[in-house]
Amino acid sequence: MEEPLEDVRYFVAPNTFIHTKRGPQKICEIRAGDEVISQLGHPIAVAKIHRQPYKGRLVSINGEGLFNAQHQILLEGDHFEHAVNLRPGNVMPVPIPGYERDITDFSEDDCLLYGAIVAAGYLDAGNRAALPDSLLTESIAEYLESASIKYSKDAQTGDLIFQNPLRRELFYNDTEEKQFYAPLLHLPQHKLRQLLRGLWDSRRTEADLEIDQLFCEDRRMAECVRYVLLRLGTDSIWCKGCVIKFPSRRSGNCILRPVQDTHLEDFDGDLVDLETAGESELDRTYLTVGVSKNGGGKRNGSFAIYIEPWHADVFDFLDLKKNHGDEERRARDLFYAMWVPDLFMERVQSGAQWSLMDPSASPGLPDAVGQDFKTLYEGYEASRRFVRQVDARTLWNAILVSQIETGTPYLLFKDASNRKSNQSNLGTIRSSNLCSEILQYSSPTETAVCNLSSIALPTFARAEDRSFDFEGLHNVTKVAMRNLNKVIDINYYPTPEAELSNRLHRPVGIGVQGLADTFCILRHPFESLEARQLNRDIAETMYHAALETSCELAAEREAEILEYRQLASIEGKSKEIKRQINHILKRTRFTKEELERRYCPGAYDSYFWNGGCPVSKGILQFDMWNVRPSDRYDWEALRGNIEIHGVRNSLMIAIMPTASTSQILGNSECIEPVTANVYSRRTIAGDFMVVNKYLMRELIDSGKWNEQMKQRILAAEGSVQGIEEIPEEVRRIYKTVWEIPQRALIDLSADRGAFTCQTQSLNLFVGNPTPKVLTSMHFYSFKSGLKTASYYMRCQLKAKIQQFTVDPSLAKVEKAAKGDSAALACSRDNAEGCLACSA
């Protein structure tokens, strides 16, 4: 059954070949129930076939097929890129199919003969074979003699004539077209090598030897040969009637296929996609002849795994995402994070020993925090209940090396995350989430859930008078808070544990995007005191608005509960009273906790559990940071209202990544500085130059924007710091993230932290990362009281891409002017670059 879908991002052209159990087939020929080869290498059944009319341009990749421009293609390094953005030099990992099924009565010699006949031989209706005399190799001659098969030479053609011992239907289909018998594609590798030997030796001429090509005009037959080569770990292309094989790099169970050509082609017709019945996401990903293809348009799920540094497996854990080493000990599709107690940081700082423990032999450590953790841990050490001991700095360096090589693990501080949480009355928070901005309690009966929203800060920045509309931000935050609170009640929950958690604690997360844009509009350099004050005021405004709204929601809920109690207490209720009661119950869905609670009945259910949450005791987030808020808002009046009514939500602010929504709204991502002021972006309509619109406006207004200026900024890789024609004041405003001291990002994060009741996705950017530089940054974060020390550790590429569109003389000049900023990371010429000594 075929069903239409509106989203065609993952659809492909109907003539695209895919690998199936019956050999390579065009996707348009597949039917429900057919089996295709998954990325895991085994056959999976096709559940549904989707077709969708499409008129527009598609992307051809290496001539293998036509893909939608927004189709995500897996590239080396475990990241995805839209098909339209692929360029020659990109590398695609192509899984080597692992499905294998032997035919026991089909020998290696049978494979050799089969390959020779299917490639260059001919069979008549009586199954007599004609094979070029040049193919009578010693192996084939021995095979025929051992089978007592006599052969003769045709007087006219010189071909060898003999009775074929193999069944004729292996070579020809019902329409008498030569075929590659599909079950032979799945033979064990030692048989495939013989089959390939028969194929290859039969078609090559002396001229072919140098380029290793095999003449194969039929596309379907060519794809069968290529599949055999892929099974044997060899890459190939099909070009002008020839299969050309070439040396290929491997990474684990994949060959690394370079992108050699991409171009756009017009298309008008039906696109096709298959929905498969695999149990996992990799199982639902089927293989085209060119790339891995996600079946059914489903987005891959993601998992973040957290571990504490005392765990005995921590060193193996740190190797799981690395790009080298034993493939059996790698799991690169997962994301990894360290959940670090203060005691470990103290041992690293003092250079002391650190004990690695088995959680089953030393129980309780995951649930212990602060002094309780220290007492329990040191007690286990005293009784020698550890697996082994290492220098704390050895483990610390292993963490840093992994961050330098892979960008992970994320680094979060366990004690700060628990000590400064409004859910501390529920139990120990044992991890964060995939993006390290959510800190919530989970248990075997509860799965933490959070509903998120981000606010576009540039909307409130006024360029004309360089002011910021805090009242507008306050109002919009209140609207977002109310809407997210509604989502909790009307949401669909995948599991009962998720619904239980969300309804008990009612957490939400409001974040921001476009902070760098806001600084540009108001002309504040990212590391300036003005930017730092604005950053703090924004965070304070949002926290106050969220708290105030949550308190108002609790008061409104309380009023409904009191109305219900009053109506329910009436004796001899009339029909009208009963109707009102039923209407209230249907609208509100009161919980038992709310109806029985005497104080603050409108607060969330777990508000008073285990002695009450910090907010119930008048302790707000900035109190946990020992920070005094400004006088912009009447915090004491808000505390008084919270004491009377409570709050409806346990958590309210979380600074999450905003990659997709920032692109849609045209803002910089989240809280990050810009990475470049000019760069090139490819879309389905062509290549476009993306320029920092605020910088360009300044340069146009000052008469400095022209083609040469654009080329100079491009030559400097998006930096303006070496262009002296641009005033120094302007250059300071438009520093890229690689030119801003990371201490500034950490300081801004710490200032926001006092008003962020969850935490922040804080990426750090280091041009030339070393363990010394990273240690300096992480300890500065630790001493600043951050909950998240780092989400991703971003590093600049050592090798620079050749800029073919930039004047080489300009590139040399700008490189010399820009200098090597990474070399100034810790020196007396760059006093703010070093976080440890401030040299």
For the chain, the distance separating the N- and C-terminal CA atoms, rounded to the nearest angstrom, is: 70
Whether the Cβ atoms of residue 820 and residue 830 lie closer than 8 Å to each other: no
> Of all helices (H) and strands (E), which one includes residue 122?
strand 122-123
Which conformational region is residue 346 in: left (phi greater than 0), alpha (psi within -120 to 50 degrees), or beta?
A: alpha
- The active-site residue, picked from 35, 64, 437, 594, is 437
Residue 609's closest CA among 413, 427, 770, 771? 427
Quote the tokens at residue 252.
Answer: 């684990």
- CA-CA distance, 126 to 148, in Å (whole number)? 18
Which residue type does 618 have?
A: G
Q: How far is Cα 464 from Cα 326, in angstroms, rounded to an integer?
A: 59
Amino acid at 473: L
CA–centroid distance for 651 within its chain: 26
Catalytic member of 68, 164, 418, 433: 433
Residue that the structure tokens 């080396």 belong to? 76
Active site annotation includes 502: no
Q: What is the CA radius of gyration of the chain?
A: 33
User: Is 275 considered catalytic here?
Assistant: no
Token duo for residue 548: 């105030």
Query: Which residues are paired to 215 by β-bridges?
Result: 242
Find out whether 25 and 8 touch, Cβ atoms under 8 Å: no
Assess contact for 818 and 721: CB atoms under 8 A. yes
786 in Cβ contact with 413 (< 8 Å)? yes
Between CA 363 and CA 533 the distance in angstroms is 45
SS3 content of the chain, % helix, strand, coil (to 5): 40, 20, 40
Catalytic residue at 435? yes
Long-range contact set of residues 587-593: C-beta below 8 Å, sequence gap at least 24: 587/560, 588/557, 588/560, 588/561, 588/564, 589/489, 590/561, 590/564, 591/503
2, 13, 16, 83, 274 from 66: Cα distances, Å: 21, 5, 7, 10, 15
E strand or H helix that includes residue 472: helix 470-490
> CA–CA separation, 525 vs 25, rounded Å?
58
C-alpha 10/C-alpha 273 separation (Å) is: 7
CA-to-CA dists, residue 158 to 119, 128, 151, 198, angstroms: 18, 15, 12, 19
Q: Which of 435, 600, 613, 795 is catalytic?
A: 435
Q: Are 779 and 742 in contact (CB under 8 A)?
A: no
Q: Is the peptide bond preceding residue 183 cis, with omega within 30 degrees of 0?
A: no
Do residues 106 and 81 lie in contact, with contact meaning Cβ atoms separated by under 8 Å? no
> Which of the residues are catalytic?
433, 435, 437
